[in-house]
Structure 1
Amino acid sequence: MQDGIITKSTGSWYNVRLEDGQIIPCRIGGKFRKDDKRLTNPIAVGDKVKVETDVDEEGAGAIRKIMPRDNYVVRQSPRKKHSLHLIASNIDQAIIVTTIAQPKLKQGFIDRFLLMTEPFNIDTVIAFNKVDVYKEEDIDTLAYLQGVYEDIGYKTLILSATKGHGLDDLKVLLKDKTTLIGGQSGVGKSTLINAIAADLDLRTGDISDYSGKGQHTTTFAEMFELPFGGLLIDTPGIKNLSFNYLELADVAHNFREFFAASSDCRFGGSCLHRNEPGCAVKAAIEEGEISELRYFNYLALLDEVDEQNYWERRNV
């Protein structure tokens, strides 16, 4: 058997890059445990595997073993609301690509993306693309959001894929690392990737004139080798993220500035920062030390997780 890494998953077939650089199509050879998680897929892009090559006359291989993962990222399955979908594994960092305009920013999505990566201790960078089309009010919004996220330790990038602004900084960030890149449709993610690695020639989509929303251009997660060093895992354009695998405390603990302040809450780590007396987080918000915008997004996520998992929590 040979060692390899999953570079693309299409559901039933997987592309595996072998140590010699050859990429071969493979199927799963046998049954794999899903670690007691309700996963719709046992294997993800980024997984290190052992494969048996040339199992048929077409040169396809069979995946016989999945090696232990350093980390992974999951999301709620878009098709099965009680199941999870494994997005990627063994990544060094993640980048969320967003934009203030074209399409108009849905700021709550930034916090949703961070809630996907934060529980797995994956460093995440917030990249604001399309800065060349921002109006004056968009620039003000950008400056505000940069302050909010940089103050709590997240790195931000200001980019224009079409004008080349910030691309050198992006390349430095990506060099010699395995990076998961994601974002909602229409934010220019594929254009951005093409701008730093033109030979990849990813398909790009336009913004719908009717809805103002992006058109999906990526169907399956796929790993690419960058010409300047590093691996990039491109994910499908994400419409939304839900969190059927989180409990209320998970939400509270993974808003990092809330968790830091919670040591001074009367109820400590069990405080959910809603209406509990002696809540240090709410006091910090009143003092302007914690972003009120982040808090509103937090409350919405808390309510969503509480409602979504209500019956499951009471039927265990």
Structure 2
Amino acid sequence: MIGILVFPDFQVLDAAGPISVFEIAGRFAGQAAPAIRVVAENAGLVRSSSGVEMLARGLRPASALTTLIVVGGEGVRTAARSATTIAFVRAAERRGVRVASVCSGAYILAEAGLLDGRRATTHWGRTRHFLSAYPKVKLEADQIFVRDGNIWTSAGITAGIDLALAMVAEDFGDEIAQKTARQLVLYHRRSGGQSQFSSLLELKTPNGRFGGLLSWAREHLDEKLSVDQLAERAGMSARHFARAFTAETGTTPSKAIERLRVEVARARVQASGEAIERVAEATGFRDPERMRRAFIRAFGQPPQALRRAARAG
């Protein structure tokens, strides 16, 4: 049985996205598909932040529970202070249940101690507060979703769909996951390694503190773009710049530049027959092998695979 844990002022898509994934996958999987239940501390109608309500069962111990997905939303910090909710999540993990969070639902997992010493992610907008509140968590702030053992965490809202599809692939195989993605009219199934940082760049430009710098860097990807060079451009010492940049964006300058390079490189790879070596040179990777490794980190596939997929599409 799959449990979707909600609370007052939850984000409705955090729940509805995974529910839809498991529902559709269940049709393809047939009798092997598990039941889906919405659960909450108080049984009955639970009002989301949008005003839409979901009918939930109470948090009774359920030995049949195999997966527990904790949603996020405006009410997550109140829910994270609930002893009943935290005890339920801890008990599920102790029983060997696969436990996951969508978006800020990671706060509940962290409060329960499930993320201590583990790799995890959450919505990029929560990065600074999350890092200060839970320093024991190995936060990977720019990932779509992260799996560390039996604990899964995902980024903002729609990333819960990606996480659920990955679970479907694990449970029923890639074929059913791909059929489910097509039924949902998704262009492709994003890997956990794909970054949410491109969205961060869009939101930080042009109003963010480093928006202008990132826009400039995007136009000069063929240059080295070292931390020293970026710091000089920003009018800061290298040490202060690195700290300030990481605090604001949730990622290091070097990772941000790699994301810029890989996003521009991907567009060129998918849109033309330009030689991979030329793309690597023009986007600052220099070495095609270095670009290939960056693509695998970001998209889970090498450049040639993305080009073939684009042509097939």
Bin for the TM-score computed over the shorter chain: under 0.3
Q: Which has the higher strand share?
A: 1
Using structure 1 for the length normalisation, give the TM-score: 0.27
Query: Which structure: greater helix fraction?
Result: 2
TM-score with structure 2 length normalisation? 0.27
